[in-house]
Amino acid sequence: MVHRKRVIAAWLAVQLAGFSAAAHAYLDPGTGSILVQSLLAGIAGAVAVISLYWQRVKAFFVNLRKSRDTPSSASSPDNDGV
């Protein structure tokens, strides 16, 4: 499925962009800390992808509603259609 491929591509883009080691890093950051941050980065990436995906789902329904509604009711509150 096209969407699924896009999700995977976006995920990889987030995860595999090069990590540039900090200049003059005299401190050992610790494996535990780096792995926890990697996890947080993964979650951030996933949230970004899901939110992008969700925007599209939302846009799909909004467009659907717009196409059913009359132009005058399109700007009125939610309880008017779909």
Partner 1 sequence: MHLRLTTTESDPPALRAEPGSFRDPGGRVYWYGDRVLRTVMPSAAADFEYVEASGLIPHLVERGMLIPQTQRPPEMLAGLASPPAYLLEHPKLDFISHPYEWPFRALQAAALLQLDLYLEALDRGVTLSDATAYNIQFEGARPMFIDRLSFRRYVDGQFWLGHRQFCEQFLNPLLLRAKFGIPHNAWLRGSPEGIGAAELSALLPLRQKLSWRVLTNVVMQGSLQKTRSSDAHSAIAGKLRFPKAAFVRLLRGLREWIASLHPADRQPTTWQEYSRRHSYGSAEADAKRNFITRFVNESQPRMIWDIGCNTGDYSVAALQAGARSAIGFDFDQGALDIGFDRARSQRLALLPLFLDVTNPAPDQGWSQGERRGLRARATADAVLALALIHHVAISKNVPLADVVSWLTALAPRGVIEFVPKTDPMVVELLRLREDIFPDYNEAHFVSCLQQRARIVARETVSATGRTLFAFQRTAGSSP
Query: Where do contacts with partner 1 occur on this chain (CB under 8 A)?
Result: 14-41, 43-45, 48
Q: What is d(CA 32, CA 63) in angstroms, rounded to the nearest whole number?
A: 46
Nearest CB to partner 1, comparing residues 2 and 21: 21
CB of 47 to partner 1, least distance (A): 9
Report the run of H or E that residue 54 belongs to, with start and end: helix 31-68
Residue with tokens 């780096």: 34
- Decide whether 5 or 19 has the Cβ nearer to partner 1: 19
CB of 43 to partner 1, least distance (A): 8
Which amino acid type is present at position 76? Answer: S
Q: Is the CB of 33 or the CB of 63 nearer to partner 1? A: 33
In angstroms, rounded to a whole number, what is the distance separating the alpha carbons of residues 3 and 63?
19
